[in-house]
Amino acid sequence: MTHQTHDFRATDTTADAAGPLRIEELAPVARFSLRVRGANAATLGRALGLELPGAVGRTARAGDRTALCLGPDEWLIHAPEAERDAIVEAGAAAYASAPHALVEISDREISYVVSGPAARELLSIACPRDLDRLAPGRAMRTVFDTAQVVLWRDGENAFRLDVWRSFAPHVRALLETGRAEIAAGF
């Protein structure tokens, strides 16, 4: 397993005490891309300790583990870094009864949280999706400007963006520019 570092630091930006937006980089998590045929999804879900949701955009949680359905046979798994090896071992143990592809992608992406009353407005500067139609607890693959992202809605005014590390400086710069424009009343 490789561990990649980046040359930009995690920062937390708040416009001011009454500011409408908060942008922060989350701590690293263990991430896995999972591909498994529908007939084997329940078996593999049990092995990984969570239910794999069956509808695209749906999420399921079990403890600190989360599964997001990205496609008919594709899931994104998030878990604490300390659970990485246990997930790899569980996947390997289940392979004979439920063939699948479980690939660790932890170092590929980072996550930003965008929260506050103007969070939807900020994200709409570069996301073509109708964010009002994304219910809390749901997530989807989309784009932010030209970067592919996974957009999670964690609450009414709280969103999370999983961004490929190579696009993170670009996405962060757009978020900061948008935040400044909203704060200035543009």
Q: Phi then psi for 128, rounded to 5 degrees?
A: -80, -5
Residue 2 has pLDDT above 90, yes or no: no
Q: How buried is residue 178: exposed, middle or buried, by Cβ count under 10 Å (0-12/13-18/19+)?
A: buried
Per-residue pLDDT tens digits for 62-74: 999 999 999 999 9
CB 120 within 8 A of CB 132: yes
Question: Mean of the pLDDT values across residues 152-168?
Answer: 97
Angle at 93 between CA 97 and CA 65, to 5 degrees: 105
Report residue 185's pLDDT band, with 50, 70 and 90 as the boundaries.
confident
Q: Which domains does the chain have, with CATH numbers?
A: 12-27+108-184 (3.30.1360.120), 30-106 (3.30.70.1520)
Question: What residue ranges in the chain does DSSP mark as E strands?
Answer: 12-14, 22-25, 30-36, 59-62, 65-71, 74-79, 100-104, 109-115, 139-144, 147-155, 158-164
Residue 133 has pLDDT above 70, yes or no: yes
CA distance 168 to 20: 22
Please count the other Cβ atoms lying within 10 Å of the Cβ belonging to residue 167. Answer: 17
Distance of CA 131 to the CA centre of its chain: 15
Mean pLDDT value across the chain: 90
Question: Mean of the pLDDT values across residues 78-93?
Answer: 97
For position 12, what pLDDT does the model report?
Answer: 45
CA distance 13 to 83: 29
User: What are the residues facing 112 on neighbouring strands?
Assistant: 25, 161
Which residue matches tokens 């996405």?
171
**Residue 88 is encoded by which pair of tokens?**
């790899």
Per-residue pLDDT tens digits for 12-28: 444 443 368 999 999 99
